[in-house]
Structure 1
Amino acid sequence: MTPGHEHSPQHGSHGHRHEQHDDSGQAEILELDAEVLAEQIAEITAWLPLKSEPRQIADLGSGTGAGTFALLDRFPDAHVTAVDASAGHLQLLREKACARGVRDRVSTVQADLDSDRWPDLGTPDLVWASASMHHMAHPERALRSVHELLAPGGLFAVVELDGFPRFLPADAPAERPGLEDRAHAATDSFHAEHVPHRGADWGPMLTAAGFGVEDERTITVNIEGARTEAIGRYALGSLQRIRSVAAPALSAEDLTALDALLDADDPNSVLRRDDLAVRTKRTVWAARRA
Protein backbone atom coordinates (compact mmCIF):
# COMPACT_ATOMS: atom_id res chain seq x y z
CA MET A 1 0.00 0.00 0.00
CA THR A 2 3.49 1.43 -0.88
CA PRO A 3 2.35 1.44 -0.45
CA GLY A 4 5.64 6.47 2.64
CA HIS A 5 4.64 8.43 -0.37
CA GLU A 6 5.63 11.74 1.07
CA HIS A 7 6.64 13.13 -2.34
CA SER A 8 6.01 10.70 -5.10
CA PRO A 9 2.78 10.09 -6.98
CA GLN A 10 3.98 6.53 -7.46
CA HIS A 11 1.52 4.22 -5.78
CA GLY A 12 2.27 1.25 -3.67
CA SER A 13 2.74 0.14 -0.12
CA HIS A 14 5.37 1.87 1.90
CA GLY A 15 7.46 1.19 4.93
CA HIS A 16 9.47 4.24 5.81
CA ARG A 17 8.61 7.89 6.28
CA HIS A 18 5.11 8.79 7.40
CA GLU A 19 3.17 10.31 4.57
CA GLN A 20 2.70 13.97 5.29
CA HIS A 21 -0.09 14.74 2.86
CA ASP A 22 -3.40 13.17 2.00
CA ASP A 23 -3.08 9.90 3.89
CA SER A 24 -6.70 9.05 3.07
CA GLY A 25 -6.15 9.76 -0.62
CA GLN A 26 -3.16 7.44 -0.63
CA ALA A 27 -5.21 4.77 1.14
CA GLU A 28 -7.86 5.02 -1.59
CA ILE A 29 -5.24 4.46 -4.29
CA LEU A 30 -3.87 1.45 -2.40
CA GLU A 31 -7.36 0.00 -2.06
CA LEU A 32 -8.07 0.45 -5.78
CA ASP A 33 -4.69 -1.03 -6.67
CA ALA A 34 -5.51 -4.09 -4.55
CA GLU A 35 -8.96 -4.46 -6.12
CA VAL A 36 -7.91 -4.01 -9.74
CA LEU A 37 -4.72 -6.11 -9.52
CA ALA A 38 -6.01 -8.84 -7.19
CA GLU A 39 -5.48 -11.60 -9.78
CA GLN A 40 -1.89 -10.54 -10.39
CA ILE A 41 -1.07 -10.40 -6.67
CA ALA A 42 -2.56 -13.89 -6.21
CA GLU A 43 -0.53 -15.11 -9.19
CA ILE A 44 2.67 -13.89 -7.56
CA THR A 45 1.91 -15.48 -4.18
CA ALA A 46 1.16 -18.78 -5.94
CA TRP A 47 4.46 -18.61 -7.86
CA LEU A 48 6.76 -18.14 -4.87
CA PRO A 49 9.40 -20.94 -4.78
CA LEU A 50 8.76 -22.05 -1.20
CA LYS A 51 10.20 -25.23 0.29
CA SER A 52 7.40 -25.46 2.84
CA GLU A 53 4.29 -23.51 3.81
CA PRO A 54 5.33 -20.40 5.77
CA ARG A 55 3.87 -20.00 9.24
CA GLN A 56 5.25 -16.56 10.13
CA ILE A 57 5.21 -13.85 7.45
CA ALA A 58 6.29 -10.20 7.58
CA ASP A 59 4.76 -7.74 5.09
CA LEU A 60 7.11 -4.75 4.92
CA GLY A 61 5.44 -1.55 3.78
CA SER A 62 2.04 -3.21 3.98
CA GLY A 63 -0.05 -0.14 3.23
CA THR A 64 -3.70 -1.03 3.70
CA GLY A 65 -3.04 -4.76 3.30
CA ALA A 66 -3.16 -5.83 -0.37
CA GLY A 67 -0.25 -8.21 0.17
CA THR A 68 -1.23 -9.11 3.72
CA PHE A 69 -4.64 -10.45 2.71
CA ALA A 70 -3.34 -12.16 -0.44
CA LEU A 71 -0.78 -13.97 1.73
CA LEU A 72 -3.41 -14.92 4.32
CA ASP A 73 -5.56 -16.35 1.52
CA ARG A 74 -2.64 -18.24 -0.01
CA PHE A 75 -1.33 -19.64 3.29
CA PRO A 76 -4.31 -20.44 5.54
CA ASP A 77 -2.15 -21.50 8.51
CA ALA A 78 0.09 -18.45 8.47
CA HIS A 79 0.22 -15.37 10.68
CA VAL A 80 1.19 -12.06 9.04
CA THR A 81 2.90 -9.12 10.73
CA ALA A 82 2.07 -6.01 8.70
CA VAL A 83 4.63 -3.20 9.02
CA ASP A 84 4.04 0.34 7.78
CA ALA A 85 4.89 3.93 8.69
CA SER A 86 1.28 5.11 8.43
CA ALA A 87 -0.94 4.67 11.48
CA GLY A 88 -3.98 5.38 9.30
CA HIS A 89 -3.13 2.63 6.82
CA LEU A 90 -2.60 0.13 9.62
CA GLN A 91 -5.88 1.08 11.27
CA LEU A 92 -7.70 0.42 8.00
CA LEU A 93 -5.85 -2.89 7.66
CA ARG A 94 -6.99 -3.97 11.14
CA GLU A 95 -10.59 -3.01 10.35
CA LYS A 96 -10.48 -5.07 7.17
CA ALA A 97 -8.99 -8.01 9.04
CA CYS A 98 -11.89 -7.89 11.51
CA ALA A 99 -14.43 -7.69 8.68
CA ARG A 100 -12.82 -10.72 7.00
CA GLY A 101 -12.68 -12.73 10.20
CA VAL A 102 -8.89 -13.01 10.25
CA ARG A 103 -7.99 -10.48 12.95
CA ASP A 104 -6.34 -13.19 15.07
CA ARG A 105 -3.98 -13.97 12.18
CA VAL A 106 -2.69 -10.40 11.76
CA SER A 107 -0.40 -8.19 13.84
CA THR A 108 0.44 -4.60 12.92
CA VAL A 109 3.60 -2.69 13.69
CA GLN A 110 4.04 1.01 12.94
CA ALA A 111 7.72 1.53 12.11
CA ASP A 112 10.16 3.53 10.02
CA LEU A 113 12.04 0.92 8.03
CA ASP A 114 14.67 3.47 7.05
CA SER A 115 15.77 3.47 10.67
CA ASP A 116 18.94 1.58 11.51
CA ARG A 117 17.07 -0.11 14.37
CA TRP A 118 14.02 -2.12 13.45
CA PRO A 119 11.36 -3.28 15.90
CA ASP A 120 11.18 -6.93 16.92
CA LEU A 121 9.36 -8.66 14.07
CA GLY A 122 10.04 -12.20 15.24
CA THR A 123 11.73 -14.69 12.91
CA PRO A 124 9.55 -14.93 9.80
CA ASP A 125 10.12 -17.66 7.23
CA LEU A 126 8.70 -15.41 4.49
CA VAL A 127 9.22 -11.67 4.12
CA TRP A 128 7.16 -9.82 1.50
CA ALA A 129 7.90 -6.28 0.29
CA SER A 130 5.67 -4.97 -2.49
CA ALA A 131 6.36 -1.53 -4.01
CA SER A 132 8.11 -0.49 -0.81
CA MET A 133 11.82 -1.16 -1.28
CA HIS A 134 12.29 1.57 -3.91
CA HIS A 135 11.11 4.15 -1.37
CA MET A 136 13.91 3.32 1.05
CA ALA A 137 16.53 6.01 1.46
CA HIS A 138 19.02 3.29 2.43
CA PRO A 139 17.90 0.14 0.59
CA GLU A 140 21.19 -1.70 1.10
CA ARG A 141 20.82 -1.34 4.86
CA ALA A 142 17.18 -2.42 4.71
CA LEU A 143 18.12 -5.52 2.71
CA ARG A 144 20.73 -6.46 5.30
CA SER A 145 18.11 -5.99 8.02
CA VAL A 146 15.76 -8.37 6.21
CA HIS A 147 18.59 -10.90 5.88
CA GLU A 148 19.16 -10.78 9.63
CA LEU A 149 15.41 -10.99 10.29
CA LEU A 150 14.64 -14.07 8.18
CA ALA A 151 14.77 -17.57 9.52
CA PRO A 152 17.60 -19.65 7.99
CA GLY A 153 16.36 -20.94 4.65
CA GLY A 154 13.59 -18.31 4.65
CA LEU A 155 12.42 -16.56 1.49
CA PHE A 156 12.35 -12.83 0.74
CA ALA A 157 9.95 -11.73 -2.04
CA VAL A 158 10.63 -8.28 -3.47
CA VAL A 159 7.82 -7.09 -5.75
CA GLU A 160 8.46 -3.90 -7.70
CA LEU A 161 6.86 -2.00 -10.57
CA ASP A 162 8.46 -0.46 -13.61
CA GLY A 163 6.61 2.80 -13.17
CA PHE A 164 3.16 4.27 -12.80
CA PRO A 165 0.37 2.42 -14.64
CA ARG A 166 -0.86 3.75 -17.99
CA PHE A 167 -4.57 3.98 -18.66
CA LEU A 168 -5.27 5.87 -21.91
CA PRO A 169 -4.85 4.83 -25.55
CA ALA A 170 -1.88 6.47 -27.29
CA ASP A 171 -4.17 8.67 -29.41
CA ALA A 172 -6.11 10.01 -26.42
CA PRO A 173 -7.41 12.51 -25.62
CA ALA A 174 -8.38 13.54 -29.15
CA GLU A 175 -7.27 17.16 -28.74
CA ARG A 176 -3.90 16.25 -27.16
CA PRO A 177 -2.81 12.75 -28.28
CA GLY A 178 0.04 11.30 -26.23
CA LEU A 179 -0.81 13.42 -23.19
CA GLU A 180 -0.30 10.56 -20.74
CA ASP A 181 3.21 9.85 -22.03
CA ARG A 182 4.14 13.52 -21.72
CA ALA A 183 2.75 13.69 -18.18
CA HIS A 184 4.83 10.67 -17.19
CA ALA A 185 7.92 12.13 -18.83
CA ALA A 186 7.36 15.35 -16.88
CA THR A 187 7.74 13.41 -13.61
CA ASP A 188 10.98 11.65 -14.59
CA SER A 189 13.41 14.17 -13.13
CA PHE A 190 11.41 14.28 -9.91
CA HIS A 191 11.52 10.51 -9.57
CA ALA A 192 15.21 10.38 -10.43
CA GLU A 193 15.88 12.69 -7.49
CA HIS A 194 13.39 11.43 -4.91
CA VAL A 195 12.98 7.72 -5.70
CA PRO A 196 16.19 6.81 -7.56
CA HIS A 197 15.71 3.07 -6.98
CA ARG A 198 12.38 2.89 -8.78
CA GLY A 199 12.79 0.48 -11.68
CA ALA A 200 16.08 -0.87 -10.28
CA ASP A 201 17.37 -4.40 -10.75
CA TRP A 202 17.19 -5.73 -7.20
CA GLY A 203 19.05 -8.95 -8.01
CA PRO A 204 22.61 -7.60 -7.51
CA MET A 205 21.59 -5.68 -4.36
CA LEU A 206 20.01 -8.83 -2.89
CA THR A 207 23.16 -10.82 -3.66
CA ALA A 208 25.34 -8.12 -2.06
CA ALA A 209 23.18 -8.34 1.09
CA GLY A 210 23.91 -12.05 1.40
CA PHE A 211 20.86 -13.56 -0.32
CA GLY A 212 20.82 -16.21 -2.98
CA VAL A 213 18.44 -15.07 -5.74
CA GLU A 214 16.55 -18.21 -6.72
CA ASP A 215 14.19 -16.84 -9.34
CA GLU A 216 12.86 -13.68 -10.97
CA ARG A 217 9.64 -13.16 -12.87
CA THR A 218 7.97 -10.22 -14.61
CA ILE A 219 4.19 -10.13 -14.94
CA THR A 220 2.78 -7.93 -17.70
CA VAL A 221 -0.59 -6.45 -16.79
CA ASN A 222 -3.15 -5.36 -19.39
CA ILE A 223 -6.65 -5.17 -17.93
CA GLU A 224 -9.44 -3.78 -20.09
CA GLY A 225 -11.46 -1.05 -18.40
CA ALA A 226 -14.76 -2.71 -19.19
CA ARG A 227 -13.99 -5.43 -16.64
CA THR A 228 -14.66 -3.20 -13.63
CA GLU A 229 -15.75 0.36 -12.95
CA ALA A 230 -12.96 0.58 -10.37
CA ILE A 231 -10.49 1.15 -13.23
CA GLY A 232 -11.98 4.60 -13.90
CA ARG A 233 -11.54 5.56 -10.24
CA TYR A 234 -8.06 4.06 -10.24
CA ALA A 235 -7.14 6.14 -13.30
CA LEU A 236 -8.61 9.27 -11.73
CA GLY A 237 -6.69 8.94 -8.46
CA SER A 238 -3.48 7.98 -10.24
CA LEU A 239 -3.58 10.84 -12.75
CA GLN A 240 -4.40 13.32 -9.99
CA ARG A 241 -1.20 12.35 -8.23
CA ILE A 242 0.80 12.58 -11.44
CA ARG A 243 -0.63 16.05 -12.10
CA SER A 244 0.61 17.28 -8.73
CA VAL A 245 4.19 16.64 -9.87
CA ALA A 246 3.96 17.08 -13.66
CA ALA A 247 2.02 20.37 -13.80
CA PRO A 248 5.00 22.78 -13.84
CA ALA A 249 6.55 20.98 -16.81
CA LEU A 250 3.39 20.63 -18.93
CA SER A 251 2.21 23.07 -21.57
CA ALA A 252 -0.94 25.07 -20.92
CA GLU A 253 -2.74 23.00 -23.56
CA ASP A 254 -1.70 19.72 -21.97
CA LEU A 255 -2.68 20.93 -18.52
CA THR A 256 -6.13 21.97 -19.77
CA ALA A 257 -6.64 18.56 -21.38
CA LEU A 258 -5.42 16.78 -18.25
CA ASP A 259 -7.78 18.78 -16.05
CA ALA A 260 -10.66 17.80 -18.33
CA LEU A 261 -9.75 14.14 -17.80
CA LEU A 262 -9.80 14.74 -14.05
CA ASP A 263 -13.13 16.63 -14.03
CA ALA A 264 -15.92 14.19 -13.16
CA ASP A 265 -18.44 16.45 -14.93
CA ASP A 266 -16.47 16.76 -18.16
CA PRO A 267 -17.48 14.51 -21.08
CA ASN A 268 -13.78 13.55 -21.42
CA SER A 269 -13.44 12.54 -17.78
CA VAL A 270 -11.69 9.24 -17.16
CA LEU A 271 -14.78 8.29 -15.15
CA ARG A 272 -16.83 8.45 -18.37
CA ARG A 273 -14.45 6.90 -20.88
CA ASP A 274 -14.93 3.39 -22.26
CA ASP A 275 -11.41 3.05 -23.70
CA LEU A 276 -9.39 2.75 -20.51
CA ALA A 277 -7.08 -0.13 -19.63
CA VAL A 278 -4.53 -0.75 -16.87
CA ARG A 279 -1.11 -1.37 -18.40
CA THR A 280 1.85 -1.97 -16.14
CA LYS A 281 4.50 -4.52 -15.19
CA ARG A 282 5.37 -6.12 -11.86
CA THR A 283 8.69 -7.88 -11.31
CA VAL A 284 9.28 -10.19 -8.36
CA TRP A 285 12.62 -11.42 -7.08
CA ALA A 286 12.63 -14.51 -4.85
CA ALA A 287 15.73 -14.53 -2.67
CA ARG A 288 16.67 -17.04 0.00
CA ARG A 289 18.71 -16.68 3.14
CA ALA A 290 21.25 -19.49 3.09
Structure 2
Amino acid sequence: MAKHQKDEKKEPDTTGHEWDGIREYDNPMPRWWLWVLYLTIIWGLWYSIAYPAWPLISKATAGYKDWSSREQLAEDMTAFDELNAPWNAKLDETPLTEISADAELELYAVNSGGAVFRTWCAQCHGSGAAGAPGYPNLLDNAWLWGGSIEDIYFSVKHGIRNDDDEDARYSQMPAFGEILDKEQIVQVTQYVMSLSSAQSDDAAAKAGEMIFQDNCASCHGEDGKGDREQGAPNLTDAIWLYGGSEEDLTETITYSRFGVMPAWSGRLTEAQVRAVSTYVHQLGGGE
Protein backbone atom coordinates (compact mmCIF):
# COMPACT_ATOMS: atom_id res chain seq x y z
CA MET A 1 0.00 0.00 0.00
CA ALA A 2 1.48 3.27 -1.12
CA LYS A 3 2.32 5.71 1.54
CA HIS A 4 1.43 9.32 1.01
CA GLN A 5 4.28 11.46 1.97
CA LYS A 6 3.43 14.80 3.53
CA ASP A 7 4.16 17.78 1.39
CA GLU A 8 7.05 19.70 2.67
CA LYS A 9 6.04 23.06 4.16
CA LYS A 10 6.67 25.76 1.64
CA GLU A 11 8.71 28.65 2.95
CA PRO A 12 7.24 32.10 2.43
CA ASP A 13 8.73 34.48 -0.03
CA THR A 14 11.44 36.83 1.12
CA THR A 15 11.92 40.52 0.51
CA GLY A 16 15.37 39.90 -0.80
CA HIS A 17 16.99 41.49 2.23
CA GLU A 18 19.58 39.42 4.04
CA TRP A 19 21.88 40.20 6.99
CA ASP A 20 24.53 37.75 8.11
CA GLY A 21 22.61 34.90 6.58
CA ILE A 22 19.29 35.99 8.11
CA ARG A 23 16.61 36.49 5.46
CA GLU A 24 13.64 38.81 5.82
CA TYR A 25 10.38 37.03 5.09
CA ASP A 26 7.69 38.80 3.13
CA ASN A 27 4.71 37.92 5.36
CA PRO A 28 1.81 40.30 4.67
CA MET A 29 -0.54 41.21 7.53
CA PRO A 30 -3.90 39.44 7.57
CA ARG A 31 -6.43 41.19 5.38
CA TRP A 32 -8.92 41.69 8.23
CA TRP A 33 -6.21 43.41 10.29
CA LEU A 34 -5.45 45.82 7.47
CA TRP A 35 -9.13 46.70 7.05
CA VAL A 36 -9.39 47.43 10.77
CA LEU A 37 -6.32 49.67 10.50
CA TYR A 38 -7.77 51.56 7.53
CA LEU A 39 -11.10 52.03 9.33
CA THR A 40 -9.41 53.41 12.45
CA ILE A 41 -7.44 55.88 10.32
CA ILE A 42 -10.64 57.03 8.61
CA TRP A 43 -12.41 57.28 11.99
CA GLY A 44 -9.49 59.27 13.44
CA LEU A 45 -9.56 61.75 10.57
CA TRP A 46 -13.33 62.21 10.93
CA TYR A 47 -13.03 62.66 14.72
CA SER A 48 -10.34 65.32 14.37
CA ILE A 49 -12.60 67.24 11.98
CA ALA A 50 -15.82 66.78 13.97
CA TYR A 51 -14.50 67.59 17.49
CA PRO A 52 -11.93 69.96 19.02
CA ALA A 53 -8.57 68.44 18.20
CA TRP A 54 -5.75 70.46 16.66
CA PRO A 55 -4.05 72.98 18.99
CA LEU A 56 -3.61 76.51 17.65
CA ILE A 57 -1.90 79.54 19.22
CA SER A 58 -4.71 80.54 21.59
CA LYS A 59 -7.25 77.75 21.17
CA ALA A 60 -7.91 74.47 19.39
CA THR A 61 -9.92 73.79 16.26
CA ALA A 62 -13.61 73.79 17.23
CA GLY A 63 -14.82 70.99 14.97
CA TYR A 64 -17.92 71.14 12.82
CA LYS A 65 -20.06 69.64 15.62
CA ASP A 66 -19.23 72.69 17.78
CA TRP A 67 -18.94 70.50 20.89
CA SER A 68 -17.28 71.81 24.07
CA SER A 69 -16.42 69.95 27.26
CA ARG A 70 -16.94 73.19 29.20
CA GLU A 71 -20.42 73.63 27.75
CA GLN A 72 -21.20 69.99 28.50
CA LEU A 73 -20.08 70.47 32.09
CA ALA A 74 -22.13 73.65 32.40
CA GLU A 75 -25.21 71.83 31.10
CA ASP A 76 -24.68 68.99 33.57
CA MET A 77 -24.22 71.43 36.47
CA THR A 78 -27.36 73.31 35.47
CA ALA A 79 -29.30 70.06 35.35
CA PHE A 80 -28.12 69.06 38.83
CA ASP A 81 -28.81 72.56 40.17
CA GLU A 82 -32.37 72.24 38.95
CA LEU A 83 -32.73 68.85 40.65
CA ASN A 84 -31.28 70.20 43.90
CA ALA A 85 -33.21 73.48 43.85
CA PRO A 86 -36.10 72.24 46.06
CA TRP A 87 -33.65 70.89 48.63
CA ASN A 88 -31.61 74.09 48.62
CA ALA A 89 -34.76 76.14 49.09
CA LYS A 90 -35.76 73.97 52.04
CA LEU A 91 -32.26 74.26 53.48
CA ASP A 92 -32.46 78.06 53.22
CA GLU A 93 -35.79 78.16 55.05
CA THR A 94 -35.02 75.69 57.85
CA PRO A 95 -33.49 77.11 61.06
CA LEU A 96 -29.96 75.81 61.53
CA THR A 97 -30.77 74.07 64.79
CA GLU A 98 -33.68 72.19 63.20
CA ILE A 99 -31.85 70.74 60.20
CA SER A 100 -30.84 67.63 62.15
CA ALA A 101 -34.50 66.99 63.02
CA ASP A 102 -35.25 66.24 59.35
CA ALA A 103 -33.30 63.09 58.48
CA GLU A 104 -33.56 63.54 54.69
CA LEU A 105 -32.65 67.22 54.81
CA GLU A 106 -29.70 66.53 57.10
CA LEU A 107 -28.48 63.77 54.78
CA TYR A 108 -28.65 66.17 51.84
CA ALA A 109 -26.90 68.94 53.81
CA VAL A 110 -24.09 66.65 54.97
CA ASN A 111 -23.44 65.28 51.47
CA SER A 112 -23.68 68.67 49.83
CA GLY A 113 -21.60 70.28 52.57
CA GLY A 114 -18.98 67.56 52.27
CA ALA A 115 -18.56 68.39 48.58
CA VAL A 116 -18.24 72.09 49.41
CA PHE A 117 -15.69 71.34 52.14
CA ARG A 118 -13.53 69.17 49.89
CA THR A 119 -13.61 71.85 47.19
CA TRP A 120 -13.02 75.00 49.23
CA CYS A 121 -11.91 74.13 52.78
CA ALA A 122 -9.71 71.04 52.62
CA GLN A 123 -6.72 73.03 51.31
CA CYS A 124 -6.30 74.56 54.78
CA HIS A 125 -8.14 72.27 57.19
CA GLY A 126 -7.13 69.03 55.48
CA SER A 127 -9.28 66.48 53.67
CA GLY A 128 -10.23 64.92 57.01
CA ALA A 129 -10.67 68.31 58.74
CA ALA A 130 -7.88 67.54 61.24
CA GLY A 131 -6.16 70.82 60.44
CA ALA A 132 -2.46 71.67 60.44
CA PRO A 133 -0.20 74.15 62.26
CA GLY A 134 -2.00 77.48 61.92
CA TYR A 135 -5.21 75.86 60.64
CA PRO A 136 -7.72 74.69 63.29
CA ASN A 137 -8.64 71.07 63.83
CA LEU A 138 -12.40 70.86 63.29
CA LEU A 139 -12.75 67.43 64.90
CA ASP A 140 -12.22 68.44 68.52
CA ASN A 141 -14.13 70.70 70.90
CA ALA A 142 -11.51 73.46 71.06
CA TRP A 143 -13.31 76.29 69.25
CA LEU A 144 -11.90 79.81 69.38
CA TRP A 145 -15.26 81.36 68.52
CA GLY A 146 -17.65 78.62 69.60
CA GLY A 147 -18.62 75.28 68.09
CA SER A 148 -22.41 75.42 67.95
CA ILE A 149 -23.87 75.22 64.48
CA GLU A 150 -24.82 78.91 64.67
CA ASP A 151 -21.24 79.83 65.62
CA ILE A 152 -19.80 77.69 62.84
CA TYR A 153 -22.23 79.21 60.35
CA PHE A 154 -21.22 82.74 61.36
CA SER A 155 -17.51 81.93 61.05
CA VAL A 156 -17.96 80.35 57.63
CA LYS A 157 -20.16 83.15 56.34
CA HIS A 158 -18.12 86.12 57.56
CA GLY A 159 -14.64 84.67 58.04
CA ILE A 160 -11.87 85.58 60.46
CA ARG A 161 -9.77 88.78 60.43
CA ASN A 162 -10.35 89.52 56.75
CA ASP A 163 -10.84 92.93 55.15
CA ASP A 164 -13.72 91.87 52.90
CA ASP A 165 -16.55 91.46 55.41
CA GLU A 166 -17.32 94.09 58.03
CA ASP A 167 -18.84 91.37 60.24
CA ALA A 168 -15.73 89.17 60.15
CA ARG A 169 -14.68 87.87 63.54
CA TYR A 170 -11.73 89.90 64.68
CA SER A 171 -9.13 89.66 67.41
CA GLN A 172 -5.47 90.63 67.52
CA MET A 173 -2.79 89.59 69.96
CA PRO A 174 -0.07 92.17 70.58
CA ALA A 175 3.52 91.34 69.70
CA PHE A 176 4.91 91.29 73.25
CA GLY A 177 8.46 91.41 71.95
CA GLU A 178 7.79 95.15 71.64
CA ILE A 179 6.39 95.39 75.20
CA LEU A 180 8.33 92.93 77.37
CA ASP A 181 12.05 92.29 77.62
CA LYS A 182 13.56 88.91 76.80
CA GLU A 183 13.69 87.75 80.41
CA GLN A 184 10.02 88.56 80.91
CA ILE A 185 9.11 86.68 77.74
CA VAL A 186 11.02 83.64 79.03
CA GLN A 187 9.16 83.86 82.34
CA VAL A 188 5.67 84.26 80.87
CA THR A 189 6.41 81.44 78.40
CA GLN A 190 7.26 79.14 81.31
CA TYR A 191 4.07 80.16 83.09
CA VAL A 192 1.93 79.47 80.02
CA MET A 193 3.57 76.06 79.70
CA SER A 194 2.74 75.32 83.33
CA LEU A 195 -0.95 76.09 82.71
CA SER A 196 -1.24 73.00 80.51
CA SER A 197 0.88 70.87 82.87
CA ALA A 198 3.83 70.91 80.48
CA GLN A 199 7.30 70.59 81.99
CA SER A 200 8.46 74.06 82.96
CA ASP A 201 10.89 75.97 85.16
CA ASP A 202 9.05 76.53 88.44
CA ALA A 203 10.95 79.67 89.43
CA ALA A 204 10.52 81.29 86.01
CA ALA A 205 6.87 80.26 85.87
CA LYS A 206 6.21 81.83 89.27
CA ALA A 207 7.75 85.10 88.10
CA GLY A 208 5.80 84.86 84.84
CA GLU A 209 2.44 84.57 86.60
CA MET A 210 2.43 88.26 87.55
CA ILE A 211 3.45 89.22 84.01
CA PHE A 212 0.62 87.09 82.67
CA GLN A 213 -1.96 88.68 84.97
CA ASP A 214 -0.82 92.17 83.99
CA ASN A 215 -0.63 91.62 80.24
CA CYS A 216 -2.53 88.51 79.16
CA ALA A 217 -5.38 87.86 81.60
CA SER A 218 -7.61 90.55 80.09
CA CYS A 219 -8.11 88.27 77.06
CA HIS A 220 -7.15 84.77 78.21
CA GLY A 221 -8.69 85.12 81.66
CA GLU A 222 -7.03 85.00 85.05
CA ASP A 223 -7.12 81.19 84.93
CA GLY A 224 -5.89 81.07 81.31
CA LYS A 225 -9.02 79.35 80.02
CA GLY A 226 -9.62 81.93 77.31
CA ASP A 227 -12.63 83.86 76.13
CA ARG A 228 -14.59 82.79 73.06
CA GLU A 229 -16.21 86.19 72.68
CA GLN A 230 -12.76 87.59 71.94
CA GLY A 231 -11.41 84.55 70.12
CA ALA A 232 -8.81 84.13 72.88
CA PRO A 233 -7.72 80.48 73.11
CA ASN A 234 -7.80 78.31 76.20
CA LEU A 235 -4.20 77.91 77.35
CA THR A 236 -4.89 75.07 79.78
CA ASP A 237 -6.03 72.31 77.43
CA ALA A 238 -2.71 71.55 75.67
CA ILE A 239 -4.35 72.16 72.28
CA TRP A 240 -2.15 74.60 70.39
CA LEU A 241 -2.95 76.08 67.00
CA TYR A 242 0.66 77.02 66.24
CA GLY A 243 2.43 74.46 68.44
CA GLY A 244 2.95 74.18 72.19
CA SER A 245 6.69 73.67 72.45
CA GLU A 246 8.82 76.25 74.29
CA GLU A 247 10.14 77.52 70.95
CA ASP A 248 6.65 77.81 69.42
CA LEU A 249 5.21 79.61 72.44
CA THR A 250 8.16 81.97 72.62
CA GLU A 251 7.65 82.92 68.97
CA THR A 252 3.91 83.35 69.47
CA ILE A 253 4.36 85.62 72.51
CA THR A 254 7.20 87.59 70.92
CA TYR A 255 5.76 88.17 67.46
CA SER A 256 2.05 87.33 67.82
CA ARG A 257 -0.07 85.39 65.31
CA PHE A 258 -2.64 86.66 62.84
CA GLY A 259 -4.45 83.90 60.97
CA VAL A 260 -6.98 84.95 58.32
CA MET A 261 -10.00 83.05 57.00
CA PRO A 262 -11.91 84.43 54.01
CA ALA A 263 -15.60 85.29 54.14
CA TRP A 264 -17.44 82.67 52.13
CA SER A 265 -20.76 84.52 51.86
CA GLY A 266 -19.66 86.15 48.61
CA ARG A 267 -18.32 82.93 47.11
CA LEU A 268 -20.88 80.35 48.19
CA THR A 269 -24.66 80.42 48.10
CA GLU A 270 -26.63 80.62 51.33
CA ALA A 271 -27.55 76.95 50.93
CA GLN A 272 -23.89 75.99 50.49
CA VAL A 273 -22.84 77.94 53.60
CA ARG A 274 -25.57 76.20 55.59
CA ALA A 275 -24.65 72.82 54.14
CA VAL A 276 -20.93 73.09 54.91
CA SER A 277 -21.75 74.37 58.40
CA THR A 278 -23.90 71.30 58.95
CA TYR A 279 -21.15 69.06 57.59
CA VAL A 280 -18.49 70.55 59.88
CA HIS A 281 -20.84 70.47 62.89
CA GLN A 282 -21.50 66.74 62.55
CA LEU A 283 -17.84 65.75 62.13
CA GLY A 284 -17.53 65.19 65.86
CA GLY A 285 -16.29 68.49 67.23
CA GLY A 286 -19.54 70.41 66.86
CA GLU A 287 -21.18 71.36 70.13
TM-score per shorter chain, which class?
A: under 0.3
TM-score, normalising length from structure 2?
Answer: 0.22
Q: What's the TM-score once normalised by structure 1's chain length?
A: 0.22
